Structure 1
Amino acid sequence: MDILIIEDDVSIRQELKQLLENALYDVSTLTEFTNYTECIKNIRPDLILLDVNLPNLSGFEVCQKIREQSNVPIIFVTSRTDSMDELNGMLKGGDDYITKPFVAPILLAHIAAVLKRTYKKEQQEKITYKGIELDMIRGRILYDGKCAELSKNELKIMHYLFTHAGEIVSRIELVENLWDQQIFIDDNALSVNMTRLRSKLETIGVQNFIETKRGMGYRI
């Protein structure tokens, strides 16, 4: 398991790195605090430890940007102890919230719990159809060694299509399924997401995977 540390305080970053390596995790760190999402896309960590007080953007903003592309688990590790900060972190897509100064065994226990919860679910949430794999936990689709990152909406749409493979799924059915999951999307937004999905599939070498049935809906 590879854990990415996003922490601008050098001493804390080194302390976390040493702690995690001693616990036999692979560890990556960011030392430049720009282009977060591009760095994460290249590193592809299994979990992120994220500070809140960062240069340029807050950790909450970074988390929100990550969630537009990936479902990688995120644990906030921060000196901010206000309950509203913790709530904000969860609302932005965080999976856990640990305050500094942290107690090493407790932090490791939280990391282990999030990883177990996430990747136990992953075993149930990796779906393959026609050689194309949908990875729900990491929020991506894979084919022939190539990978495309999906937004939350795109991921949920693809999951519904994969679980109804071979069936025609109506547009209203997709919209209602997303609303049931508290993802607010209308018919126009669905069209935009389908266009983006097809474009991303093409980047990994998949042509005509999502079939449009005129007046009826979609089928894979």
Structure 2
Amino acid sequence: MAKIFIVEDNPDIIHSTTQELNKWQHDVITVNNWQNIANEILATNPDLVLFDITLPTFDGFYWIQEVRKHSQVPIIVISAAEIDTNVMHAVAAGADDYIMKPFAMTVLLAKIQALLRRNKQTADAEEIMWDHNSFNPLTNILTNENGTAQLTPTEGSMLQVLLSHRNKTVSKEQLLQWLWQGGKYLNENTLNVNISRLRTKLSTIGLRQCIHTERGLGYRLVENNE
């Protein structure tokens, strides 16, 4: 059973989603104060957040960024907006996955279970060392002599996949399969944005060049910035 926070102002969607999640014995929390969304999420410490984009106050992108300043809770964005024009913005803001309205409840449940399962596997993993770097899968914190980088759950999972295949090329198809159930509900652009965001965070501790792009093949994590 998980605790799921729903940031949505449509009462019909709240009702139907809550009913379905309750069937799976998940607890559901909703917004009380639209001016204080981020603090409410932090105070309740949910296992996962469902975020609408169009909200009574600031949009979902703003609130996701506010949450990400203090929490790495898995986030799924739910929006009626066109996926091609908004998925990049959602991912850049810190979302881990994306679904469009109207959506089938089975698809939403599949995404929720995938993120919860991935998070549990991450929490059970041991600290990973390579070169002079240390990655904690539980906190998604990467540390070396240059400082620390806080990764999101998706970025942390992506780094773990690349680390487990160190110096080997991991295809985009493999990453989509391992991270997003084959990418059935995501496109390759989402993966590219996540890689770019991960590289940006790695660059803050001197690791910008550790992920190589193998053109037409995929990505490879190398040691010592080869």
* Pairwise TM-score range, normalised by the shorter structure: 0.5 to 0.7
User: In the alignment, residue 114 of structure 1 is paired with which amino acid?
Assistant: L
- Cα displacement (A) at 1:107: 0.9
The alignment yields a C-alpha RMSD, in angstroms, of 3.0
Judge conservation of contact 1:8–1:31 (CA < 8 Å) in 2.
no
Q: Which residue number in structure 2 is paired with residue 60 of structure 1?
A: 61
Judge conservation of contact 1:49–1:76 (CA < 8 Å) in 2.
yes
Q: Distance in 1 between matches of 2:127 and 2:22?
A: 28
Which structure: larger Rg? 1
User: In the alignment, residue 110 of structure 1 is paired with which amino acid?
Assistant: K
Residues 19 and 125 of structure 1: is their aligned pair in 2 closer, same or farther, counting only changes over 3 Å? farther
TM-score by length of 1: 0.61
Q: Which residue number in structure 2 is paired with residue 29 of structure 1?
A: 30
Percent identity of equivalent pairs? 31
SS, match of residue 25 in structure 2: coil
Spell out, residue by residue over 1:73-129, the C-alpha distance to the aligned partner (whole angstroms, 9 max, x if none). Answer: 0001111124120111111110110111110111101110111112211222689xx
**Gap runs ≥5 in structure 1:** 128-134, 140-154, 161-168, 187-220
Q: Distance in 2 between matches of 1:81 and 1:180?
A: 24
User: In the alignment, residue 6 of structure 1 is paired with which amino acid?
Assistant: V
- 1:8 maps to 2:9: yes
Q: Distance in 1 between matches of 2:198 and 2:91?
A: 20
Q: Which residue number in structure 2 is paired with residue 74 of structure 1?
A: 75
User: In the alignment, residue 182 of structure 1 is paired with which amino acid?
Assistant: T
Judge conservation of contact 1:75–1:96 (CA < 8 Å) in 2.
yes
- Cα displacement (A) at 1:136: 5.8
TM-score by length of 2: 0.59
Q: Which residue number in structure 1 is paired with residue 117 of structure 2?
A: 116
Judge conservation of contact 1:76–1:94 (CA < 8 Å) in 2.
yes
Count of aligned pairs between the two proteins: 152
Q: Which residue number in structure 2 is paired with residue 182 of structure 1?
A: 200
Judge conservation of contact 1:71–1:136 (CA < 8 Å) in 2.
no
Q: What does 1:75-94 align with in structure 2 at a 5 Å threshold?
A: 75-94=76-95
Q: Which residue number in structure 2 is paired with residue 103 of structure 1?
A: 104
